[in-house]
Amino acid sequence: MRRKSELTNYLFILPILVLFAVFIVYPIVYNFIISFFEWSGFGPDITFVGLENYVTILNGKIIWKVMHNFIIFALITITLQALFGMIFASFFINNIRGSSVYRILFYLPAVVTPAIIGQVFSKFFEANRGYLNTFLRALHLDPLAQTWLADPSLALYCICFVNIWQWTGYSMLLYYASMLNIPSDLYESASLDGANKAQQFTRVTFPLLRGTHFTVFILGMLGSLKCYDIVFILTNGGPNYATETFSVYIQNLSFSMFRQGQSATVVVIMFIIAMVITAVQLQLYYRSNQHKELAR
């Protein structure tokens, strides 16, 4: 009877398991297998090359440039998005005048098509007649007018800027929703104990947003890993791989170089990085016994 009941339970989840296997597990396994082959991605000639693709990719300069860009991009965007998101959420939670309108305005960039954002900011950063440099020159700040997206030392930070502009509203919304769930009597108690606003934020609000910090961090990390659209439109990974990301590198290997095997290798590397980050995240998150209980 019990066995029949268990079987029935499995039958209920079978459809989703099949979908998961077909659309998630199979592509991952297939990609892993392809990483051991030399293949154009669409032709009939496919040759087993063992670990040669891994050796080629890891011995090349581009993958290390990509990893460097990923670390810089992730650290800057996650930190600043979280910081600004928290600050803006703090303002809105205190019901400043017009906060409902501002919340919408802050969130709007997150829903705009990346292609549109890319086109607008490419005009913004253009060196000769772009909006930014034109503005700076109008203020007689010519030395500050740079070649932005064409400068390898600045291009990545320009992309970080665009990303922060686009996604801070999303972080703000996550923090705002979490802050709504913090009981107000905690602030009353803190106030009675003599805590000022800053102390209430650091001793009450910030610690209780722990779950949201991890959420913002994990989403930010995975988003940085997958970052493609803005980079493709603004710089296509240039100049000279200064803004190359995993996704752009994979796309170039697959569709420009016709090296599906090497492209699959980069995907495997990306997958390993994502798994390590997620595992470390979860380990830190569940370090506290309280959260382990909640997870049960």
Partner 1 sequence: MRKSICMALVFCMLFALIPMAFAAEDEPVTISFQTWNPGDGDLIHQIIDAFEAENPSITIDYIYMPYSDHIADMQIKMASGEGPDVYGMQAGVTYSTFRPFEENLTPYITETYGDGWESSFLTFCTNLLNEDGSYYGLPLGLTYAGLIWADMSYFNKYGLSLPTNYDELAQVAQTFRDNGEYPLAIGAKDDWINIDMWMNIAGDINAEKLYAALDGEISFTDPELLQSFAIWQSLFTEGIVQDGALGVNMYCDTTDLFEKEASIPMITNGSWAAGLFVSTDESTKANFQGEGADHQAFLLDWNNDGVSAGLAASIDVVLCMNTNCKNKDAAWKFIDFMIHYGQDVLINEGLQYFPSRTDLVLDVVGLNENGLENLEFIIENAQNNTRGYREMGNADVKQAVADALKALATNEMTPEEAAESIDNAQ
**Where along the sequence are the contacts to partner 1 (CB under 8 A)?**
40-45, 122, 125-128, 147-152, 155, 235-236, 238-241, 251, 254-258
By C-beta, is 40 or 191 nearer to partner 1?
40
Which C-beta is closer to partner 1: that of 224 or that of 260?
A: 260
Q: Report the DSSP beta bridge partners of residue 37.
A: 48
State in angstroms the smallest separation of the CB of 132 from partner 1: 11
CB of 48 to partner 1, least distance (A): 19
- CA contacts within 13 A on the Cβ side of 64: 5
Question: Could you tell me the two tokens for 90?
Answer: 């703090």
Structure token digits, residue 112 = 């705009």
Residue with tokens 């003599």: 194
CB 21, CB 33: distance < 8 Å: no
Q: How far apart are CA 101 and CA 133, in angstroms?
A: 31
Cβ 142 to partner 1, closest distance in Å?
Answer: 12
- Reported as half-sphere exposure (CB side, CA atoms, 13 A), residue 56 has a value of 17
* Residue 165 Cβ vs partner 1, minimum distance, rounded to whole Å: 18
Nearer to partner 1, 60 or 98 (CB): 60
Rounded Cα gap, residues 244 and 91, in angstroms: 36
Q: Which C-beta is closer to partner 1: that of 74 or that of 155?
A: 155
166 φ/ψ angles, rounded to the nearest 5 degrees: -75, -40
Can you state the percent helix, strand and coil of the chain, rounding each to 5?
75, 0, 20
Cβ closest to partner 1, residue 122 vs residue 215? 122
* CA atoms within 13 Å, Cβ hemisphere of 74: 22
Q: Which of residues 236 and 288 has its CB atom nearest to partner 1 in the complex?
A: 236
H/E run at residue 234: helix 229-234
Least distance to partner 1, CB of residue 26, Å? 15
User: Please, which residue, 79 or 251, has the CB nearer to partner 1?
Assistant: 251
CB 152 → partner 1: shortest distance, Å? 5
Give the integer Cα–Cα distance in Å for 101 and 110: 15
Q: Shortest gap between Cβ of 191 and partner 1 (angstroms)?
A: 52
